[in-house]
Amino acid sequence: MEKEILIKWERIKKILDEEKLEGVLLNKVSNFAWFTGGKINYVGLHTETGVCKLLVTKKKIFYLTNNIEYPRISDEELKNFNFEPIIKNWYEEKFDEKIKEITNAKVGSDIFYDNYIPLNIEKLHFPLLREETERYKKIGREISKIVTNICKEIKPGDKEIEICGKLSESLWKRNIVPVVVLIASDERIKRYRHPVPKEKRVKKSVMVVLCARKYGLIVSLSRLIYFGKLPEELKKKHLAVCKIDSVFIGSTCKGRTIGEIFSKGIEMYEKTGYGDEWKKHHQGGPTGYMTRYFRATKERKEIITENQAFAWNPSITGTKSEDTIITTEEKPIIITEDRNWPLLKIETEQGEFLRPNIFVK
């Protein structure tokens, strides 16, 4: 069995001991991917739970699925894992009796089920292992280059949905799943914080927002393009939001709480003269096997670990700054940075950071 899974199994065994449980059911797409190193247990793209679940006990690991899914799951996802299959016909897909037979004790579950104990598995995702951080860095570089290449091709007259289609095609060609794609042009950038792409054509400006998944890990980033002379007001706003983002990034250090980081970012909103803008959209938070595990607020007490992923996304009406980072012993690394994109050097108390400028064509 792979070293990565053995380490994660030990994390689960520890929480089972703490909660006095014999095993836990991993139903969620995110938890399945985390435990297996990026394997897939879903069919539908937009679903929280998959068609195959894991029963992780202290002594053995089982996978539970139906006769429809078993051939593919066993051939393409779990072939090289020493997991024992439990298969039911699709029309009698109830595993409770079998689970009781295996465990004969209390069992947890990462989603609500009658007769099972709710168990938070997401807190075991971090710190990321070395293998995971290496995958994540590679994915970040790959996706940021794809976004840069697509953005360079955008021209006035393109439809938002056409940009979305080209971006999605480039991602799928590389086995990357676009989880969230938001495209806004011109006045829609100012009007909507979550601009689902429409048939509207680009005139002077466009914003591309992406969350994309590979090996279960999700990368988030935002980029802006402007055609012609950049208005001074937009230039000022974008510099401000990059300063805010740099404070969020630079403050994201091992040992601090989420609430502390959030408060530092909000202070920078005030210092740049845009004190109320943070109220118009959330500021991001921890990411990894989920787009966001939760949205950061000043009340959050969770302590940041080394090798934890974050995606902060501060915005000021008409502009935004967003990338994916991983914490280290020192300052975080930005895994979606692309030196082929125009960058702003931002000086902060935590050091210098490069943030994506508006791409002027």
Query: 130-360 adopts what CATH topology?
Result: Creatine Amidinohydrolase (3.90.230)
Residues linked to residue 224 through DSSP beta bridges, in sequence order? 207
Work out the pLDDT band at 4, boundaries 50, 70, 90.
very high
What are the Cα distances from residue 55, in Å, to 86, 147, 174, 186?
10, 38, 31, 50
Cα separation of 142 and 137, whole Å? Answer: 9
What are the Cα distances from residue 355, in Å, to 146, 204, 260?
18, 22, 22
Structural domain 3-124, CATH architecture:
3-Layer(aba) Sandwich (3.40)
Work out the pLDDT band at 104, boundaries 50, 70, 90.
confident
Contacts of 169 (CB under 8 A, 6+ apart): none
Confidence (pLDDT) at 354: 97
Q: Tell me the pairing of strands 351-356 and 23-28.
A: unpaired
Work out the pLDDT band at 350, boundaries 50, 70, 90.
confident
Q: 217: closest CA among 304, 142, 161, 322?
A: 142
Identify the DSSP state of 159. Answer: B
Q: What global pTM score does this model have?
A: 0.95
pLDDT in tens, 263-290: 999 999 999 999 999 999 999 999 999 9
What are the Cα distances from residue 244, in Å, to 41, 120, 271, 315?
38, 32, 9, 9
Instruction: Map out the domains of the chain as residue ranges.
Output: 3-124, 130-360
Same-fold call for 3-124 versus 130-360: no
